[in-house]
Amino acid sequence: MVRVVVIGGGAAGCMAAGRAAELGARVTLLEKNRRLGRKLGISGKGRCNLTNHADVAGLVANMPGNGRFLYRALHAWDATATEAFFADLGVATKVERGNRVFPVSDRAADVIAALERYLARGGVEVRLSEGIDGLVIRDGAVAGGRTSGAVMPADRIVVATGGASYPGTGSTGDGYAFAAEAGHTVVPIRPSLVPLVTVEPWVPSVQGLSLRNVRVTATNAAGQKVGQEFGEMLFTHYGVSGPVILTLSRAAGLEIAAGRGPVALSIDLKPALDPEKLDQRLQRDLGERSRKLFRNCLDALLPRLLIEPVVALSGIEPDKPAHQVTREERRRLGQLLKGLRLTVAGTRPLKEAIITAGGVSTAEVDPGTMQSRLVKGLFFAGEVLDVDGYTGGFNIQAAFATGRLAGEHAARE
């Protein structure tokens, strides 16, 4: 009987351990936390966005970090398979905006409990509050793991330790050290799906303000567009966050890291109106409030918190009567509303990122088995790999798919 040790009890690790056990392997799952699935438990704001109801092409398209590496894993285990898997374990799912898939109960705890049932059904030995210190490799093959000076024998080891974001959940980058020890290249890690830090002094004054249905465009220092998203964003005391910002953060971070920063964000506050229609709207609003001061005329157009910064940035005298606002001033105001600019100085720290970009080089891992090309019997799955995607269930789906593939091939004689 093949002895398989899986390191890490998250989405990838649980799937790998359960699948290997299903196929007859003797499986031990090591999780250094006191319970499984800590990061799953906080995903989707505690609801667990466990996959995205897209086809394989759609899943790959939303994995800008080496998504093509996942083709074979996703063809073997796509979103439909994930939904059916959890249905079989008693977790009904629903599809929400953006094809995001959640448990009907809106409880991440139900997803974790289902994975625990899956492990128990296969007879997996789960050891909590336990990990390994390193790998034992002999003659180019895995022989076990080092634990407190002793050796835990293993014919196969699956490294599913996650990345280095949200270290409080146990994702502290251990797997990168194991990979490097085995001779693997570890692509430098960096935060992805992370809030952005801006330099404009007015931003902290509007912290907590959420904008819906805005279009945000990111450009580098050369004026080249590096990304554009439509949806919701949030102002914070340090800059900006929210769904569209998290999606843009990957490209923004890469530009800054490559020395092509700072990155500029242009926020179209009125994407449904072209410049001409917006000017007509401004004429109407100012005309209806012709006896008011300019600073009191934008309440129908903007959220309350944003009025003062926009008035200041417009260059129009705040106490100017509305009927005295000139055509040129109105034109500048329209341009501001169609392109409120922010300057991105950097990202928030890796520990605040939803996902880690970088990791074990995919060039050194077989995409059809998740086995190392360098060390026989060593497998990698999940976020420890240099694979990352956008928010919306794509990263967890990748973890399930790569975990299952790794477990399946680790169990083979």
Q: What is the structure's pLDDT at 148?
A: 80
DSSP symbols for 133-170:
SEEEEETTEEEEEEETTEEEE-SEEEE----SSSGGGT
pLDDT at 174 (0 to 100)? 93
For residues 336 and 375, state if they share a domain: no
Q: Which residue among 318, 347, 376 closes a domain? A: 347
Both 169 and 276 in a single domain? no
Do 231 and 88 lie in one domain? The reply is no
Burial 178-192 (b: 16+ CB within 10 A, else e): bbeebebebbebbbb
CATH number at residue 105: 3.50.50.60
**One domain, residues 252 and 158:** no
The pLDDT value recorded for residue 284 is: 95
Q: Do 79 and 118 share a domain, yes or no?
A: yes
**What CATH number does the domain containing 232 carry?**
1.10.8.50
Q: What is the pLDDT of residue 149?
A: 73
**How much is the pLDDT for 215?**
98
Query: Could you tell me if 162 and 228 lie in one domain?
Result: no
Domain count for the chain, please give it. 2
My answer on whether 310 and 378 are in the same domain is no
Which ranges of the chain have pLDDT less than 50? none
| pLDDT at residue 386, as a whole number | 98
Predicted local distance difference test score (pLDDT) of residue 238:
96
Is residue 222 located within the same domain as residue 246?
Answer: yes
pTM of the model: 0.91
User: 225 is in which domain, residue-wise?
Assistant: 195-347
What pLDDT score was predicted for residue 169? 81
Task: For residue 33, give both structure tokens.
Answer: 């936390």
Residues 53 and 87 in one domain: yes
147 & 218 share domain: no
Same domain assignment for residues 138 and 170: yes
Q: 57: which residues sit within 8 A by CB, 6+ positions away?
A: none
